[in-house]
């Protein structure tokens, strides 16, 4: 039995997106939500 996680949807290493201050929310086909907890994570889950 292999414990290898297999291929990732995005190949590591992955640079985190850094927060930046802006006066307006950018327009486009994106969704935005406030981030109150101060944590950011990239998670891969297989099953």
Active site residue ranges: 35
Using omega within 30 degrees of 0 as the cis cutoff, is the peptide bond preceding 20 cis?
Answer: no
Cα–Cα dist 26/31, whole Å? 10
Name every residue whose Cβ is closer than 8 Å to that of residue 33 and which is 6 or more positions away in sequence: none
């Amino acid at each position: 039995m292999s414990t290898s996680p297999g291929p990732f949807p995005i190949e590591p290493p992955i640079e985190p997106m850094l927060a930046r201050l802006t006066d307006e929310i950018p327009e486009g086909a994106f969704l935005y939500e406030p981030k109150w907890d101060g944590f950011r994570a990239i998670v891969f889950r297989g099953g």
